[in-house]
Amino acid sequence: MVKLRQQCCTESTSGEQAMARSRTTKGVGSFTSEAARERFLAAYDDAMGLWSCPRQELDVETSYATTHVLRCGPDGGEPIVLLHGSGGSSTMWFPNVATLSAHHPVYAVDTPGDPGRSVQRRPIFEPEVSAAWLDEVLDGLGLTQVHLIGSSYGGWLALNQTLHSPSRIATSTLLDPGGFEKVGARFYTWLIINGLAGLLPRRLFPNLSSKLSNPVLDYPQLKRSILLGARTYRVRRPAPLPLTDEELSAVRTPTLLLIGDRSPLLHDAPSRERAQRLMPSVDAELVADTRHGPSIEHPEYVNNRILQFLKAASAGQLPRHTL
């Protein structure tokens, strides 16, 4: 059991001081230099211009990191917590936050260990430690019941939380998540191809995003922040291990699982079948014409699907949905 220290939420001011401390700590993610960090944060702020809803920026102090959180939406209602994918940040949620925050308070978390405004101080390797960190964040925000939504690595974080610390998780939505299969060569090849594509002048390849099914390439602000993060941030954590059959069977939290039917990370139909076979309360679906980013590739459909799921969960009605 990890001992948690007292939490607090403050306006975003403490990241700069924590940055200097993090550089002297082994096993934590950090930028290659202060100049690199400043360049990245300028690109991050530029990408945040894609968000279309007013927001408040908070730093939540935990035992592991100064965790940066963006909040938008009403004061009342059931809160949603967004967990982004590996190598990304909360900037990725720009197609989703306006619709979701029209119905729920929304908190987008910059995960420590990824390039963003969070600053890591202690290693976060083990699944139990990841759960302890997120518990501290939720404590600091004063949240007792939340709906987790995670994409890719963020999906693994959400799934991991429902296994190790489920008491305050009302539902979990997993968007082409880690945690069902070992990350393989197919996924890394896809990452390399898309990384190289991001370096090409858009004017020379206007249809590249549709050919690669990667709409990130259509948003220069987002693309620049991702590429800068990849070049200047040292990630210090292993790829998440897939959950065993026994572990998946132990997940009792109502779960919405959306898998791209052309996912480079998961074998779509087998992963859906495994979830349906093992998880007691899962609504699993293959999203048509989708690779690894359902929330960006088909935001309107995914937003509506999530809101329907949350409404059904609140009413105690969770029909299974498949294609």
What is residue 3's predicted lDDT score, i.e. its pLDDT? 26
What is residue 8's predicted lDDT score, i.e. its pLDDT? 43
Q: Tell me the residue ranges of DSSP E strands in 119-236.
A: 119-120, 146-151, 169-175, 233-234
| Residues 6 or more apart whose Cβ sits within 8 Å of residue 99 | 299, 300, 303, 304, 307
Task: Give the whole-angstrom CA distance, residue 26 versus residue 164.
Answer: 26
Evaluate if residue 60 carries a pLDDT over 80.
yes
| Cα dist from 310 to 204, 257, 264, whole Å | 42, 13, 27
What is residue 323's predicted lDDT score, i.e. its pLDDT? 33
Q: Which two tokens stand for residue 194?
A: 């898309």
Q: Which two tokens stand for residue 24?
A: 């002297």
- Span 134-141, average pLDDT: 98
DSSP alpha helices (H): ranges in 96-152? 97-101, 127-141
- Pairing label, strands 80-83, 146-151: parallel
Evaluate if residue 196 carries a pLDDT over 80.
no
Domain ranges (residues) in the chain: 28-314
Instruction: Output DSSP code: residue 215.
Output: G
Evaluate if residue 22 carries a pLDDT over 50.
no
- Span 71-75, average pLDDT: 96
Closest listed residue to residue 238, CA positions, set 120, 89, 127, 82: 127
Q: Provide the mean pLDDT of the chain.
A: 85
pLDDT digits 0-9 by tens, 292-311? 789 999 999 999 999 999 99
Evaluate if residue 24 carries a pLDDT over 50.
no
CATH class, domain 28-314, is alpha beta
What is residue 293's predicted lDDT score, i.e. its pLDDT? 87
Closest listed residue to residue 68, CA positions, set 77, 57, 78, 76: 57
pTM of structure: 0.86
pLDDT digits 0-9 by tens, 217-266? 678 888 889 889 989 999 887 778 899 999 999 999 999 999 999 888 88
Evaluate if residue 90 carries a pLDDT over 90.
yes
